[in-house]
Amino acid sequence: MSHSKVWLGLAFLMLEAMAFSVPALAQQPVETPPPAQKVPEPAPAATVDNQTEQIPSAPVAPKRITLENLRQRAENGEAGAQFQLAHRYLNGEGVTADNFIALQWFARAAEQGNPNAQYNIAVMYLNGIGVIQDNAAAVDWFRQAADNGDAQAQFTLAIILFNGQYDVPQNVPQAYKWFTLAGSAGIREAAANAVLIQEMMPPEQVEMMQQEALKWIESYESRQTHSN
């Protein structure tokens, strides 16, 4: 679940004062490979002294992803291209920076279930980038991205639930579940927080949340299998 996105500026968490800082934009777009090219036909064989010598074919340079090509793929409904095009508008790469257009392309990718785009929309709503600031919408997008396997969204949602921020009631057990999932996806701070929070919870509650986490993993893997 590694991917580029609009990163939240999150400090390491401490149970004495879990602080959630204002998200900041900082991302490089993920470059997806161009469409597969046909394997070139082998060059004709040259005959020398009754020996057949195969002339090696020159390597084919990868096709450069142009703005026009990216836009065409995005218009044709390719979620990865929509995600990349959104970032070009967000960062002004080859186009005039336009947060509103960036949000539109992120939304088109998000509608197809792209968790990176869902996470970025959440951050944009939280900061009022390209849209009127809306905490409730931001939390909803964080939940969608988290449920679709975005580890950073899982980490962020866990913080929100632990602190009871943005009009979300505090829910330590659910925060523990999402910290556990984000930690299992490789976010070390989340794993550390899960260990600390576990000490605050009754053993039966810990077991219940661990079972919920396992059920989520099974559901996620099933969804991935059926989408391929």
pLDDT value at residue 5: 54
Contact between residue 142 and residue 122 where contact means Cβ atoms under 8 Å apart = yes
The three-state secondary structure class of 46 is strand
Distance CA(222)–CA(228), nearest Å, equals 10
**Tokens standing for residue 50:** 């009754």
- Three-state DSSP state, 47: strand
Name, in order, each residue with C-beta under 8 angstroms of 29's C-beta and a sequence gap of 6 or more.
4, 83, 84, 87, 88, 91, 93
pLDDT in tens, 110-144: 999 999 999 999 999 999 999 999 999 999 999 99
Q: What is the pTM of this model?
A: 0.73
Best CA proximity match to 142, nearest among 132, 156, 127 = 156
Work out the angle at residue 199's Cα, subtended by the Cα atoms of residues 221 and 155, and round it to the nearest 5 degrees. Answer: 40
pLDDT digits (tens, 9 = 90+) for 64-123: 678 889 999 999 999 999 999 999 999 999 999 999 999 999 999 999 999 999 999 999
Burial of 17 (0-12, 13-18, 19+ CB in 10 A): exposed
For 165, other C-beta atoms within 10 Å of its C-beta total 14
